[in-house]
Amino acid sequence: MQHKRTIAGIALAAAAIVTLAGCSATSSASTTKDDTNWKTATSAEASGGMDALVKAAKAEGQLNVIALPPSWANYGKIIDGFTKKYGIKINSANPNGSSADEVAAVKSQKGQSTAPDVLDLGNAVLQENLDLLTDYKVANWDDIPTDLKDEDGAWTRDYTGLMSIGYDSSKISDAPKDLQDLLGSEYKGKVSIAGDPTQANQAASAVYLAALENGGSADDITKGVDYFGDLKKAGNFQNVLPTQATVASGETPVVIQWSYNNLAWGPAAGASGNKNWKTVVPEGQALGSYYSQAINKDAPHPAAARLWQEYIASPDVQNLYLQAGAFPSTLAALEKSGKVDQDALDAAGGAPKDYVELTDAQVADAAKVLSAKWSATMGS
């Protein structure tokens, strides 16, 4: 059956959960030969040092990651680099999944060898699921600013982008300066956002930005919803999910999304990108939002999971984020130590100085507005 029946789909998923929960999985050894229990290790230093961690991770031989699209913030290269550096195989599940999918997988596959080891979560989901995570501090813990990490190491912010407008310069002659420009007739049927804001964090962030730019605020995003209502009334809103493929083919000529995704889908992607794709961070108040790295407390490969955190926080990989236009959390330390990839930083427009990030309480309030107003405003 190609066009799936919803009920059957949900049923199958539930069946998988039920039957999978029934069979006891053989999880990988959680202790290594040196008697270090990496499952509870809170730093490499406290548990035999970095060499011991690398050795234990290699012995585990595998790492399960989830919801990391290869074209998102350079994850394709980051994943390949880990395997090349340590010889550890990465099983990448559901690359286009959401943060909620990650949490669902942690819960439903608990105790099995296929459960995700490490997570990359949006804030709203992170705050609801702190009990699934375990504490771990990477070697360069001090490089991460205090407000970008949990004090015990349950999570660390990894990277942020700025909300930006990507556009196909072969179809749009004048570069848009701000979101107001997108209401013009030149943009008829051309503007899309990355999903449904009641579902996807990135799409919701486009609404937050619209609020900031149109007299609303981080406390009240109603004006952002109104803006998209106007965009729809003008016939400019395109109700389709943009992907790297739709950008490359010209199907979605204007996309409001994170700067690192707009940059990644342009000339940087080579043959699979759109060589005319340009990225603009709109004038006015900028908006960012960090994602967070965390370790599943029941990770089937606890040492590899911790090694992944060390790898992610290392200058090389932080620069890989930067090369995709995502600003890594240790950016200030990298600039100070001179390890920053200066060309990449310049290409990304320099370190973001003054941007707004919604607090957890503001995100919760925004969710209420979206829930009440979005589908009424945008429904067809």
Interacting residues with other proteins (CB under 8 A) = 1-16, 18-20, 22-23, 97-101, 104, 122, 124-125, 128, 188-189, 192-193, 195-201, 203-204, 235-241, 249-251, 363, 366-367, 370-371, 374-376, 378-380
Q: How far apart are CA 380 and CA 371, in angstroms?
A: 16
CB nearer other proteins, residue 351 or residue 364: 364
Cα three-residue angle 69-70-73, rounded to 5 degrees: 85
Q: Which is nearer to other proteins, 161 or 197 (CB)?
A: 197
Asked if residues 125 and 66 have their Cβ atoms less than 8 Å apart, the reply is no
In the numeric block, which tokens belong to residue 176? 């848009």
Closest distance between other proteins and the C-beta of residue 177, in Å?
A: 23
In terms of CB distance, is 16 or 46 closer to other proteins? 16
Encoded tokens for 118 = 């490490």
CB-wise, 52 or 241, nearer to other proteins? 241
Question: Per residue in 215-237, is it b (16+ CB within 10 Å) or e — as a string?
Answer: ebebeebbbbbbbbbbbbebebb
Type and span of the H or E element at 191: strand 191-193
Instruction: Write down the least CB distance from residue 380 to other proteins, Å.
Output: 5
CA dihedral 157, 158, 163, 164 (to 10 degrees): 170
Q: How far is the CB of 360 from other proteins (least distance, A)?
A: 11
Residue labelled with tokens 């342009």: 266
Looking at beta carbons only, is 14 or 175 nearer to other proteins? Answer: 14
Query: What is the smallest separation between the CB atom of 232 and other proteins, expressed in angstroms?
Result: 8
- Least distance to other proteins from the beta carbon of 159, Å? 16
